[in-house]
Structure 1
Amino acid sequence: MRRPNKYLLILLATVTAYVLFEYYRPKPLDWTPTYENDDKIPFGTKVLYELLPGIMQQSSVKTVRLPVYNFLTETKPAGRSNYVIICRDFNADGNDLKQLLPYVRSGNTVFISAYGMPDSLGAVLGFKADVKEPNEADSTLRQNFANPELVKSRGYNFFHDDGRNFLLIQKAKYITVLGRNARKEPVFIRVQYGKGQFFIHNLPLAFTNYYLLSPKTSDYAFKALSYLPARPTYWDEYQKQGRFDEEQQSIFRYIRSQPALNWAYYLVVFGLIFYAIFAGKRTQRIIPVIDPPQNTSLDFVKTVGRLYFQQGDHDNLARKKIQYFLTELRERYGLNTTVLDKEFTETLAQKSGTPLSETDELVRLLRSAQKSISLSEYDLLTLNAAIERFKHLI
């Protein structure tokens, strides 16, 4: 029975040990701001997503996993609705805005909370999402609402935010400031657009799990969302997770999304590469050296000729020599060797490129040998020398 390859066993044991170690070791707290609605980490939005139906007085909130353009052109929401977008940066191209603006103009509401906003949207609505220089960062900066009924006496501090982001108002006619920071800079505005309205918020961190569960900031998100009318609401996840939800994700996509499995995947790939490089060389069989096939025809002819010569059958050997030589002339030059006359001699000299005198001497010996009743050893040697001399000249 063949023994298992020790390199594969070592690789398998290493991968298994690493996966078990990553699975059972204490998981460090992940502070990555994902804003995803299925993340329980501090800066996910699972808490808000689960509470949103109650805030909107709806049985459920529909999750959108399509670009704005695709969703609004393919779905065509019935009746007026809310569209909530909470992400790190709101990325919308011209096609998205061509659908989003008419959606709001017809009486719907869009709530966007993001640090980055497209300049094209700001140019239409009259604002710009600006950011201060790094040396002006202030994690103690407090936020508050402009509405006296929503104001908190000491304000709200989201200390994981550096306080550099704010909104610069360029067209104040249709814009209402709903929230400012301690520097009196707008961070939350309402823009009337046609029959609907945009709510632009510049601090998405305020809607994450950490600040919704913190007693000091838990009511901020609910106060901000209280401006939205109670109607069917769509929650955008495309800006954060793309098109595919958990049921649509492939096994490979899931492996790449899990750090432990992702590292195990790389470990397997590189392990197989090293195995192919090093183990493959050691186990490769030696390629045997095979001698090329030899042409034994010449040896056979020599053997037969030696046999005739030793037996003294010079006449038979000479006539076979003539026969093979004439066959060679027919195949090589296409000559008729039935009659060895003057015409044959001249044609052979022209085609072979040999002197006519040498050719004439050779043909004369061939004719003489064919007419002889018996050929002696001398005749054989003379004829062989003439044939070899002719072959040497061509």
Structure 2
Amino acid sequence: MNKTFKIYAILFIIVMVILALLEVNKKEITDWRKNFDINEKSPFGLYIFNQEIKDLFKNNLKKTSESPFDYYNKNKKSPHNILVVENDIDVPSWKKILDEVSHGSDAMLIVSNMPKDISDSIGFYDSEISFDEQNVLKLTDKKYQNDFIELDKFPSGRGFSYIKPNVEVLGKTVEKENDDQANFIKVKFGKGNIYVHSEPLFLTNYYLLKPGNVKYAADVFSYLDDKETVWFVESSTKESQFFMRFILSKPALKYAWWVLLGGLLLFIFFNAKRKQRIVPIVEPLRNTSVDFVKSIGNLYLQEGDFHDMMVKKAQYFLNKVRLDLLIDTQNLDEEFAKKLQLKTGKTMEMIDEAINFIKKAQDPYAHVLKEDLAKMNKLLDEILK
């Protein structure tokens, strides 16, 4: 381990310790967002409702994350209950729900807003919004008059106005500074009924955990008949299959993960200098043939045997003539000279001089000088060019 790596490791440990101390000493921050997520334990999640709903519907409940449009295209069902709690549903899916209701199903729609053309079909034209910080949800039926919920945290203040004559008001929102406004209605639609509640907050963890509030929720659902209920939940509530889902779901682990990645990036950045082991020098393969020729040449020069070297050169020349020029070298006569002159294009004087040198080399008793060897070598090379 080199010195630089040790320094980075110490810095990383110090940063992690500081973050751990900050995490231990920090105050818990409450998430007050209205997420209506069945897996969220934050105040405005639906975790408690999701745990208790099976008992509420006597285990006759089917929960699906499919859109109503896809679900009813795949499933043909007898009359049943339909439950939607603050779900972002598209218009074709709303129309599928209305179609099921028209054939005898009952729908409980606990939503703060829905498409205008759908609300017009049900029987109300608009929803009012109040900005009071507190209000009370009550039911209009006398048998439920003692059951209510006081909303003291971020009520939506939504309610129905311009209600058609065939719409029955089942609940209302009571405020100190404003007139009462309907928030829970019932509409006869075809062979079935539609129940619409404009304030889904009463189903969230924050309000269900308060004493007495569960009774109001049970009263609302008591309007549904005892039959199978299909609850359409948000598709985002499906458990993620991402392998990091557990770490990213825990704030402390998530921060540690990002710090780890940041530390690795810093380490890579500061070690970005190009590091490469020494490239060994590869010696090229030696041409031993050239060395051999040089050795032989030096041997002949040292011995001074110029005649033998002329013999070797003559033999090499005649062999090339036979193989490359296809001329018979048995007789070095006038006919041989003419053929060699025609094939090489050299002058007859050069050809005759070369033949004389070859014959001199073939004469074992000829006296050969160093100059003769040099001249013969140059002449024969010139002819074979």
TM-score by length of 1: 0.69
Matched, 1:105 2:99: no
Letter aligned with residue 85 of structure 1: V
Match of 2:192 in 1: 196
Gaps of 5+ in 1: 349-355
Distance 1:369 1:250, change over 3 A: same
CA deviations 1:159-197 (Å, max 9, x no partner) are 31454x55576x937644545554666544434332223
The alpha-carbon deviation at position 45 of structure 1 amounts to: 1.6
In the TM superposition, what are the counterparts of 1:161-172 in structure 2 within 5 Å? 161=155, 163=157, 165=158, 172=164
The alpha-carbon deviation at position 42 of structure 1 amounts to: 1.0
Match of 1:312 in 2: 304
Contact persistence 2:133–2:154 (CA under 8 A)? no
SS of 2:41 mapped into structure 1: coil
Distance 1:152 1:321, change over 3 A: farther
The alpha-carbon deviation at position 43 of structure 1 amounts to: 1.1
Matched, 1:227 2:219: no
Match of 1:142 in 2: 135
The alpha-carbon deviation at position 36 of structure 1 amounts to: 2.6
Match of 1:85 in 2: 84
Alignment root-mean-square deviation, CA: 4.7
SS of 1:228 mapped into structure 2: coil
| Bigger-Rg structure (1/2) | 2
Distance 1:336 1:389, change over 3 A: closer
CA deviations 1:226-248 (Å, max 9, x no partner) are 33223333333344413x38xxx
In the alignment, the residues of structure 2 paired with residue 174 and residue 90 of structure 1 have an alpha-carbon distance, to the nearest angstrom, of: 27
In the alignment, the residues of structure 2 paired with residue 210 and residue 112 of structure 1 have an alpha-carbon distance, to the nearest angstrom, of: 20
Contact persistence 1:362–1:387 (CA under 8 A)? no
Distance 1:144 1:73, change over 3 A: same
In the alignment, the residues of structure 1 paired with residue 107 and residue 352 of structure 2 have an alpha-carbon distance, to the nearest angstrom, of: 114
The alpha-carbon deviation at position 130 of structure 1 amounts to: 6.4
The alpha-carbon deviation at position 9 of structure 1 amounts to: 5.6
Matched, 1:52 2:53: yes
In the alignment, the residues of structure 1 paired with residue 14 and residue 315 of structure 2 have an alpha-carbon distance, to the nearest angstrom, of: 78
Matched, 1:35 2:29: no
Match of 1:352 in 2: none
Contact persistence 1:38–1:44 (CA under 8 A)? yes
Distance 1:154 1:112, change over 3 A: closer
Contact persistence 2:149–2:216 (CA under 8 A)? no
Aligned residue pairs: how many? 367
Match of 2:375 in 1: 382
Match of 2:332 in 1: none
Letter aligned with residue 31 of structure 1: W
The alpha-carbon deviation at position 215 of structure 1 amounts to: 5.3
Letter aligned with residue 108 of structure 1: S
In the alignment, the residues of structure 2 paired with residue 93 and residue 324 of structure 1 have an alpha-carbon distance, to the nearest angstrom, of: 99
Letter aligned with residue 376 of structure 2: L
CA deviations 1:83-102 (Å, max 9, x no partner) are 32223x413363x4564343
In the alignment, the residues of structure 2 paired with residue 326 and residue 131 of structure 1 have an alpha-carbon distance, to the nearest angstrom, of: 117
Distance 1:80 1:371, change over 3 A: same
In the TM superposition, what are the counterparts of 1:146-165 in structure 2 within 5 Å? 147=140, 149=142, 156-161=150-155, 163=157, 165=158
In the alignment, the residues of structure 2 paired with residue 264 and residue 144 of structure 1 have an alpha-carbon distance, to the nearest angstrom, of: 44
Match of 2:333 in 1: none
Contact persistence 1:117–1:129 (CA under 8 A)? no
Letter aligned with residue 278 of structure 2: I
Distance 1:229 1:302, change over 3 A: same
In the TM superposition, what are the counterparts of 1:256-335 in structure 2 within 5 Å? 256-276=248-268, 278-279=270-271, 284-296=275-287, 297-321=289-313, 335=325
Using the TM superposition, name which of 16-25 and 115-124 deviates more.
16-25
CA deviations 1:344-393 (Å, max 9, x no partner) are 55445xxxxxxx447x77655554443332553223212343466679xx
Distance 1:155 1:28, change over 3 A: closer
CA deviations 1:31-79 (Å, max 9, x no partner) are 23332334332112222233334443x14644323333444455555x5
Aligned with 2:326 (options 325, 332, 336): 336
Identity %: 25
Match of 1:370 in 2: 358
Using the TM superposition, name which of 321-330 and 232-241 deviates more.
321-330
TM-score by length of 2: 0.71
The alpha-carbon deviation at position 17 of structure 1 amounts to: 5.2
Gaps of 5+ in 2: 330-335
Contact persistence 2:148–2:216 (CA under 8 A)? no
Contact persistence 1:35–1:240 (CA under 8 A)? no
